[in-house]
Amino acid sequence: MLNVQLLLTGNELMSGDIVDSNSVFMAQSLKEMGIEVSKKVTVGDDLTLLVDQIAKLSSDAHVLIINGGLGPTVDDLTAQALAAASGLELAEHPEALAQLQAWCDKRHYPLTEPNRKQAILPIGCDIIANPIGSAPGFSLVLNKCLVFCTPGVPREMKQMVIESILPQIKTLMPDDMSNKTHKLKVFGIGESGLQKIINEKISDWPKHIDLGFRASQPLLEVKLTAHYATHHQDLEHWTDRVKSILSQHIVCEGEGDLSTTLVDILKSEGKTLTTAESCTGGLIASSITSVPGSSAVFEAGFVTYSNRIKQQLLAVNENILATDGAVSEAVVWQMLSGALQVSGADVGVSVSGIAGPDGGSEEKPVGTVWLAWGSKDNIHTVELYFPGPRRFFQTYIANAALDLMRRFLLGYQETPRYIIERQRKR
């Protein structure tokens, strides 16, 4: 197996001022090709440390990807360090200079001295095109290791990795290796619960199909991967089996989330949605309107935080508020009914609960919430109990509301697992 290692450089990575997401992207992209990164080293902008690490890592790995330190300032030391580690001189690289010049010309910028520094590279290195930024990448072979140098700007790095580096790495791999991945997203089941369901239903999981889970809060991503072309057909078969087992839990395949799925369903059914929110305070409306094109299915949302406003805007009954309290089945029923009436929407969701940290009681502790969903003549309700930090509670409940609406529109009859697990028992 190919030994690939990463060297990340930048003072901001050492100080904790930024989270390293570049190496996460590289590791994920390589994993989808069937390659595990074996080691990752991070150092600040320090020439001695960089030279030392380039020498060590290149002696050990087949491929070394260096990220960062290609910019125009004196802190950017990668070219210098790679030259020193390789015993090469630095010189202005004609191809790199031409790329920089073209980049500046396109933007009507003058080519400044600091920019020009980005073309001073180890003699004999190969240039990696950077179509969207000024710093060219470059590569050379050191200690029989193929060393790639990439910029720290995430979108520039990503484009270089996808367009130039992964294809080059692929040529080093056995011919019959060819990765294919299917992703499914589910809501309301944890990793261990999901693994248990799959284990119960499938006892003969094949070794040549990788099954992985990744939290993509509040969803969970299920990933199936085959690493060889000869297994691609099998991948389809096992993906279908997993899909038939997870069935109504599946929110979407590939990219997306509950909001994008819900907007798609509403569009295809030609229906409009409204929201009446108390404890989620606009989060459901905000999730839906984060989707491009949501204006076709969403006209009105109500954030009715106080009892007075619930009465005034949504015609919730004053006596019921007094007897049952704002967090009650009757109130979410009336909130939804009122919102459907006022907005004229076809379907809707409403929520009222105690997000905390204050406002709980013995009978209705923090984490208690009532939800209603459906259409004018078909309103469903449920009470859930989901104690947790305020924002965590709000996010989970907003997503539960979206999921209940998704299941309603698709005519699903199965009771979701989170209702079974989170329903309040009295």
Name which of residues 383 to 412 contact a second copy (CB under 8 A): 390-391, 394
Q: Find the helix or strand (DSSP H, E) in which 51 lies.
A: helix 47-60
Picking from 286, 313, 315, the residue whose alpha carbon sits closest to that of residue 302 is: 313
Binders of a second copy among residues 2 to 41 (CB under 8 A) are 13-21, 23-29, 31, 36-41
Taking the complex as a whole, how short is the minimal distance between the CB of residue 305 and a second copy, in angstroms? 5
Q: Which of 46, 264, 324, 346 binds a second copy (CB under 8 A)?
A: 46
* Interacting span for a second copy (CB under 8 A) from 127-135, 149-157, 241-249, 289-297: 289-297
Out of 115, 130, 139, 294, name the contact with a second copy by CB under 8 A: 294
Interface positions, 77-106, toward a second copy (CB under 8 A) = none
Residue showing tokens 């239903």 = 201
Considering the complex, state which of residue 90 and residue 256 has its C-beta at the smaller distance from a second copy.
256
Cα–Cα distance for residue pair 331/320, rounded to 1 Å: 7
Provide the b/e sequence for 203-237 (b: ≥16 CB within 10 Å): eeeeeebbbebeeeebbbebbbbbbbeebeeebee
Determine the Cα–Cα distance for residues 228 and 425; give it in Å rounded to an integer.
50
Nearer to a second copy, 122 or 353 (CB): 353
Residue 212 found at the interface with a second copy (CB under 8 A) = yes
Concatenate the DSSP letters of all residues of 106-121 into one string.
HHT----HHHHHTTEE
Residue in 59, 61, 67, 60 with CA at minimum distance from that of residue 29: 67
Q: How many residues make contact with a second copy (CB under 8 A)?
A: 71
Select 232 or 308, whichever has its Cβ closest to a second copy.
308
Q: Peptide bond before 114: cis, by omega within 30 degrees of 0?
A: no
For 378-389, letters b (16+ CB in 10 Å) and e give: ebebbbbbbeee
Q: Does 42 bind a second copy (CB under 8 A)?
A: yes
Q: Which of 196, 201, 208, 308 touches a second copy by CB under 8 A?
A: 308
**Binding segment for a second copy among 94-102, 162-170, 180-188, 354-362 (CB under 8 A)?**
354-362
Sole binder of a second copy in the list 80, 143, 195, 289 (CB under 8 A): 289
Binders of a second copy among residues 221 to 250 (CB under 8 A) are: none
Strand order in the sheet with 378-385: 273-277, 347-353, 368-375, 378-385
Q: Does 202 sit near a second copy (CB under 8 A)?
A: no
Give whichever of 120 and 356 is closer to a second copy, judged by the CB atom.
356
Which residue lies nearer to a second copy by CB, 60 or 329?
Answer: 60
Q: How far is the CB of 83 from a second copy (least distance, A)?
A: 21
Question: If 0-12 CB within 10 Å is exposed, 13-18 middle and 19+ buried, where does residue 9 land?
Answer: buried
For residue 264, the minimal CB distance to a second copy (Å) is 16
Q: What would the DSSP string read from start to end of 227-290?
A: EEGGGHHHHHHHHHHHHHHHGGGEEEESS--HHHHHHHHHHHHT--EEEEESTTTTHHHHHHHT
Residue 83 C-alpha from the chain's centroid: 37
**Chain centre distance of CA 350:** 27
| Residue closer to a second copy (CB basis): 126 or 210 | 210
From the list 80-88, 127-135, 178-186, 277-285, the region that binds a second copy by CB under 8 A is: 277-285
Stretch that binds a second copy, among 120-128, 178-186, 260-268, 297-305 (CB under 8 A): 297-305
Judged by CB under 8 A, which of 72, 206, 356, 365 binds a second copy? 356
Q: Is 196 in the site for a second copy (CB under 8 A)?
A: no
Q: Which residue has the tokens 């073209």?
A: 102
Q: Which of 67, 118, 337, 343 binds a second copy (CB under 8 A)?
A: 343
Is 282 a binding residue for a second copy by CB under 8 A? The answer is yes
Distance CA 319, CA 311 (A): 10
Among the listed ranges 99-107, 173-181, 248-256, 292-300, the one in contact with a second copy (CB under 8 A) is: 292-300
Q: At what angle do helices 232-246 and 191-201 cross, to 10 degrees?
A: 110
CB of 151 to a second copy, least distance (A): 18
